[in-house]
Structure 1
């Protein structure tokens, strides 16, 4: 009987890149995966169609595969950061994240899973910048800690999901997927290694996943930078004129067409570079709260370093507690006005 090599076996297994959001998933979907010779890349529109009317109670693995156009044991690559949970609701207390993981196992039992993670202080800033880009009007503090400002049913994640800082305690999702697919089939990468390594990282990445790439078509040119702190404030003000497209926001009036127009204006302003660089977490929420947030992730990061030997210390992941005091809460006037 012929012995099948590990590489040959890997080349016949589906690959599912589940995220996290804000770890360059969109770049991979637009600038890298379309240039694979093999495995076949399943475009993002297919996964969007498969999830368009998703209901956990009605999930049909065969229908899911048919919509995607990828057979159960067929080699192919799927990429959708929303598969690990939606950025602005933290996977609804992990419920959506967990159910989707279990359903992916039903649909593709022998899949290999790709997970990118990013330093929490950095990804928190990126998440808030995305919220503002998408029409958000709330402060960073309210975005990170909505329960400080909401009352009644709105304050319960179970009843009214909002952003959740626990979404970026990565070990829980990683261990969930390892339990389902096997530790050897879950591949973890650091966003920072991609951001600093460029083509060298991509070549190593491709070797690890057995990807055949048309390298002549690959460019690592970076997309536009995140908004600066001052441009975020301008964006929040302009977002008051549109009801789109995030949930936890307010609007004075909805001006039809303004959402797209204001986005074009803001992106043009951002490309000039006149508004400065992306802010640090301290600038968004103040140093005491930023220190508390760093401490919040320390134990989870230590766990990942111990179990997966990831070089988190090299990329400013919080791994040493600064012993921040209790998290500062909003003053009375902020709490009353709830912004």
Structure 2
């Protein structure tokens, strides 16, 4: 059994879409929760210990998920939501170890500044899980950063502390069972990345290179779309009027919104240094423990 528990915004969706769920040597479970059993398994793993956790439900979901695995395929659980809430990381890891003590663990990581910027662009810029008058409103990058910093280690700034999570898994499963792939290696040489990933998973490398290539998903939205989305959420009547336009006009407008440069967000003055102070020690430990070229890849070390 191989477990790929994250991290978010580190190429996980691209790996799942273009490789894990299509490679003939892999039987993939987990995200993007295409089957009911995947959602059931993910929820059972992420329940709060001592509150709504249900060991019997987890055993049942695991049995159902694994019984469909054809012989000769590598069972792979890939689900970045397992590490998306730092408050649940330890309990999720213990549950996984209880059922799969001999599993190998794969982590994908990404330079923290890029991961945080990407998360904001896809998720953080719009308020969620807030009272109705404020839901869906846009929040500026600087204000969002301050809020995230005040609420660490929970949230995405806690997730970006890769060393903390990897140490939890390493203590349970053993450091020798942990493999770490920085996303930057994919951009630098996608064939070498595919070969290294194939060796970790024990699958055919030629097929991996063909399926994966340099394909990516979840690109950042354009600046035009973000501005349009912000206006529609700020002035709901305008959004309703746009929805009533003829189909051809909406199609033309949609094409216009998808063209142009991706939205750009830059860290306010001093923030790169603040983030470096947060993650430098952990990155250095990862580099030393697992022989990762993090300094050469631009990580704070």
TM bin (shorter chain):
0.7 to 0.9
Does the 8 Å contact 2:10/2:110 carry over to 1? yes
Judged with a 3 Å threshold, the aligned counterparts in structure 2 of structure 1 residues 229 and 212 are, in CA distance, closer, same or farther, namely same
Tell me what 1:77 maps to: 76
Judged with a 3 Å threshold, the aligned counterparts in structure 2 of structure 1 residues 136 and 219 are, in CA distance, closer, same or farther, namely farther
Report the Cα offset of residue 78 of structure 1. 1.4
Q: Hey, what's the Cα distance between the residues in 1 that align with 2:67 and 2:118?
A: 32
Report the Cα offset of residue 199 of structure 1. 2.5
Q: Deviations over 1:299-336 (max 9, x none)?
A: 222222222221111222122xxxxxxxxxxxxxxxxx
Tell me what 1:17 maps to: 4
In the superposition, the TM-score normalised over structure 1's length comes to 0.68
Q: Hey, what's the Cα distance between the residues in 2 that align with 1:180 and 1:270?
A: 48
Unaligned residue ranges in structure 2 (runs of 5+): 129-135
Q: Hey, what's the Cα distance between the residues in 1 that align with 2:272 and 2:252?
A: 30
Q: Is 1:287 equivalent to 2:265 in the alignment?
A: no
Does the 8 Å contact 2:15/2:212 carry over to 1? no
- Of residues 21, 25, 36, the one that matches 1:38 is 25
Q: Hey, what's the Cα distance between the residues in 2 that align with 1:267 and 1:127?
A: 23
Secondary structure class of the residue paired with 2:176: helix
Unaligned residue ranges in structure 1 (runs of 5+): 1-13, 86-90, 149-154, 243-251, 320-339
Tell me what 1:48 maps to: 39
Q: Hey, what's the Cα distance between the residues in 1 that align with 2:42 and 2:218?
A: 28
Tell me what 1:122 maps to: 114
For residues 226-245 of structure 1, the aligned pairs below 5 Å read: 226-227=220-221, 232-240=226-234
Report the Cα offset of residue 269 of structure 1. 4.9
Does the 8 Å contact 1:227/1:270 carry over to 2? no
Judged with a 3 Å threshold, the aligned counterparts in structure 2 of structure 1 residues 71 and 31 are, in CA distance, closer, same or farther, namely closer
Q: Deviations over 1:264-291 (max 9, x none)?
A: 999855642x2x3453542xxx122333
Judged with a 3 Å threshold, the aligned counterparts in structure 2 of structure 1 residues 185 and 96 are, in CA distance, closer, same or farther, namely same
Report the Cα offset of residue 37 of structure 1. 2.4
Report the Cα offset of residue 172 of structure 1. 0.9
Q: CA RMSD in A?
A: 3.7
- Of residues 172, 177, 180, the one that matches 1:180 is 172
Q: Deviations over 1:212-253 (max 9, x none)?
A: 3635444433336313567544433334468xxxxxxxxx99
Q: Is 1:64 equivalent to 2:84 in the alignment?
A: no
Report the Cα offset of residue 27 of structure 1. 0.7
Secondary structure class of the residue paired with 1:130: helix
Q: Hey, what's the Cα distance between the residues in 2 that align with 1:26 and 1:230?
A: 24
Q: Hey, what's the Cα distance between the residues in 1 that align with 2:289 and 2:258?
A: 41
Q: Is 1:195 equivalent to 2:187 in the alignment?
A: yes
